[in-house]
Amino acid sequence: MNTPNNEPLRLSKRMSELGLCSRREADEWISRGWVRVDGKVVSELGTKILPDQHITIERQAAAEQSKRVTVLINKPVGYVSGQAEDGYEPAICMVTVENRWEEDKLPIHFHPTQLRSLVPAGRLDIDSTGLLVLTQDGRIAKHLIGQDTSVEKEYLVRVSYSKGGTLPDADLKRLNHGLWLDGKALLPAKVRWQNEDQLNFILKEGKKRQIRRMCEAVGLTVIGLKRVRIGRVKLGNLPEGKWRYLSETEMF
């Protein structure tokens, strides 16, 4: 009888767990005959394997994966991160030859095929600006928005205090740890004053409109919100409305 540690699981799920690719990519590679388990080609979707079985991928899969691009955008207000909604354009509309940052010197030529399966790895709401990642690489998406992610995201948040005077230290401490949203305690954050009307937030989670709702809970109104860093990748000097490619040397 199998123990929980050696129960069979779907090959595509195991490949994703190992960081080889996303589950969608895994299914594509399996159907093309690019995946071997213990040296034997497995081409049937839904195949289950044991966790200790050895998985290898063919060179074609690695070559195809290396062609996948990741794009960094400095999103302006008024664009949505993903699918078009309520008449607003999605951020991917900005990924054109003309909109590429002039200082992006990577030797990658833009081609419309790069827009296929180019999806946001995390959200940035319509009223917010700053760093937004769009990627074709399932490994990057999983790293940034998977259930177990612990990647830091840093924001500059301009605020006004609705109760007069200044925000009490006790409420600043609550922003760091002690607030609840949607019936759940938030993970500890790092929140400090950047200057007299701007806070610096560093979070390891991303609930919908989380920073705005955190601020509301302590009597602050958000006037402007800009994401400036995801992991080790910074927005830097990328102008608003422009985009560039993520280089091979940059790691989140």
Provide the annotated active-site residues.
125
- The C-alpha atoms of residue 50 and residue 33 are separated, in whole angstroms, by 19
Rounded Cα–Cα distance for residues 190 and 95 (Å): 32
Give the three-state DSSP class for 13.
helix
Residue 90's contacts (CB-CB under 8 Å, 6 or more residues apart) are 79, 80, 81, 82, 83, 84
C-beta of residue 202 within 8 angstroms of C-beta of residue 210: no
Query: H-type helices in 191-234, by residue range?
Result: 210-217
Are the C-beta atoms of residues 202 and 190 closer than 8 Å to each other?
Answer: yes
Six-digit token string for 239: 């102008």
Is the separation of the CB atoms in 21 and 29 below 8 Å?
yes
Which residue's structure tokens are 């081609």? 111
What residues contact residue 112 under an 8 Å CB cut-off, 6+ apart?
A: none
| SS3 (DSSP) at 68 | coil
Residues 6+ apart with CB under 8 A from 8: 2, 48, 49, 50
**Which run of H or of E encompasses 10?**
strand 9-10
